[in-house]
Homo-oligomer: A and B are copies of this chain.
């Protein structure tokens, strides 16, 4: 028997502003589709590394940012508001919407469409000005609700051990983006 929980209520704490108006992966009831061709999309993912986003925290929460600028890198949790309701029911997808990759379970992928589309990204904090953080490397689209901000501390993550494994298709995606 599954444990049954009540629904959980989140109150967004702010909003993300940048020039990305459309997600590069479009979710529907049947799967993921890239919004354009592979090459320009990969290019966009790469360029995203240096693009500045503003993370604007609700003014009454400004005090919660005290000390955040002692970190060079922080983690942003945000809501993938571009995912349609039916995207939360996807079960298996071709990663990146690419049929050359195997059909795998949603939790094995980074698909923005997932049962609870909470996305997490570690970004570089460029500047803090009151309730506004300027960051680079945030792969969110404009208008995304912000859910949380956390420190990035290297020691929270496993060492780069020799036995760290990822699927072969994920290695191919990483090779494409980083090459």
Residues of A bordering B, CB below 8 Å: 2-3, 5, 7-15, 56-61, 63-68, 70-75, 77, 79, 91-92, 102, 104-110, 114-116, 118, 120-122, 124, 137, 143, 145, 147-158, 160-161, 163-168, 170, 174, 177-178
Q: With A116-B148, A122-B157, A155-B174 as given contacts, are A68 and B108 in contact (CB-CB < 8 Å)?
A: yes
Task: Decide: A167 and B118 in contact? CB cutoff 8 A.
Answer: no
Whether A5 pairs with B9 at a CB distance below 8 angstroms is: no
Q: Can you list 15 A-B pairs, Cβ within 8 angstroms, ordered by A?
A: A5-B12, A7-B11, A57-B107, A66-B92, A68-B108, A70-B168, A73-B158, A107-B149, A118-B118, A121-B156, A122-B158, A151-B166, A155-B174, A155-B177, A155-B178
Q: Are B108 and A70 in contact (CB under 8 A)?
A: yes
**In contact, A153 and B166 (Cβ under 8 angstroms):** yes
Q: Could you tell me if A2 and B174 are in contact, using CB atoms closer than 8 angstroms?
A: no
The CA of A68 and the CA of B108, in the complex, are separated in Å by 5
Per CB-CB distance, the 8 closest pairs between chain A and chain B, nearest first, are A66-B105, A67-B104, A67-B108, A70-B167, A5-B12, A107-B149, A72-B165, A8-B10
Q: Nearest-CB distance from A122 to chain B (Å)?
A: 5
Please measure, in the bound complex, the distance between the C-alpha atom of A100 and the C-alpha atom of B68, giving whole angstroms: 18
B79–A64 touching, CB < 8 Å: no
List the B side residues contacting A109 at CB < 8 Å.
151
- Measured in the bound complex, the distance between the Cα atoms of B122 and A116 in whole Å is 18
Task: Say yes or no: A124 contacts B65, CB within 8 Å.
Answer: no
Measured in the bound complex, the distance between the Cα atoms of B149 and A124 in whole Å is 24
Whether A115 touches B151, Cβ cut-off 8 Å, given contacts A120-B75, A166-B70, is: no
Q: Distance in Å from the Cβ of A1 to the closest Cβ of chain B?
A: 9
